[in-house]
């Protein structure tokens, strides 16, 4: 299984890292917005994009190649989910370094991510990964990535809608609701983080079982 993890890490294309820089532009509003929620979303989707990019190579060839390797189909699936964790860790280092530079040199207010925010990002990252891999194993990379890549777009649209509401002087009731929600999240970060992690762990476990079942039914010789 370690060999499969190393394969995913070593065969990642350089262009993937360059394209990932676009997420920094999108989620930070061209490096002018240091709101913590933007950094959480940034970490989730940078890690996600890099993780699924290791699967955009000819998946059929990868399945056929598995027949010649001393690994089981279960190990093949587990390696995918383990590689995702490594990509999240590397993405965390990059995003935190970016926030440090932003906080040090940019004339805009920001702060470093807290541990609960990192755990929340990890939880949501694996929630999306848990959707992606079963879809990929069953329907292919294009469909799986198309469905899941819509999530960052929906996230940004929702975030933009909330900002518009907060800037509208006529929507006092809605503003009060969002402020109360933000205050609730801020004062209960650890509770929310642990809840997200527990839900994510459960769904990831179910996703792994489903992926293993799909892979066991796949005819690798004719994939």
pTM score of the predicted model: 0.86
With contact defined as beta carbons under 8 Å apart, do 149 and 222 qualify? no
Q: In 3D, which of 187, 8, 203 has the Cα closest to residue 124?
A: 203
Q: Which domain holds residue 7?
A: 2-222
Looking at the 3D structure of the chain, how many domains does it have?
1
Cβ neighbors of 220 (< 8 A, separation 6 or more) are 63, 64, 66, 67
Q: Is the pLDDT of residue 107 over 50?
A: yes
**CB-based contacts of 51, cutoff 8 Å, min separation 6:** 83, 84, 87, 88, 129
- The pLDDT of residue 196 is 93
What is the C-alpha separation between 115 and 53, in angstroms, rounded? Answer: 27
Quick check: 108 pLDDT over 60? yes
Contact 66, 223 (CB under 8 A): no
Reported as a single tens digit per residue, the pLDDT across 16-54 is: 888 888 888 888 877 777 888 889 989 999 999 999 887
């Amino acid at each position: 299984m370690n060999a499969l993890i190393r394969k995913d890490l070593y065969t990642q294309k350089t262009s993937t890292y360059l394209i990932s820089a676009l997420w920094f532009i999108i989620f930070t509003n061209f490096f002018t917005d240091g709101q913590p929620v933007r950094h959480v979303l940034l970490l989730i989707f940078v890690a996600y994009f890099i993780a699924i990019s290791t699967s955009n190579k000819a998946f059929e060839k990868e399945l056929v190649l598995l027949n010649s390797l001393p690994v089981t189909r279960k190990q093949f699936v587990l390696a995918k989910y383990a590689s995702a964790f490594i990509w999240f860790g590397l993405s965390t280092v990059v995003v935190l370094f970016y926030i440090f530079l932003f906080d040090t040199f940019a004339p805009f207010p920001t702060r470093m991510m807290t541990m609960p925010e990192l755990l929340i990002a990890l939880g949501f990252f694996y929630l999306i990964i848990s959707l992606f891999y079963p879809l990929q194993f069953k329907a292919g990379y294009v469909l799986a990535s198309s469905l899941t890549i819509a999530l960052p777009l929906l996230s940004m649209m929702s975030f933009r809608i909330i900002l518009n509401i907060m800037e509208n002087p006529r929507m006092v009731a809605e503003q009060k609701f969002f402020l109360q929600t933000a205050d609730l999240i801020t004062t209960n970060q650890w509770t929310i983080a642990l809840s997200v992690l527990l839900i994510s762990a459960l769904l990831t476990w179910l996703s792994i079982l489903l992926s293993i079942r799909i892979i066991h039914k796949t005819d690798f010789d004719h994939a």
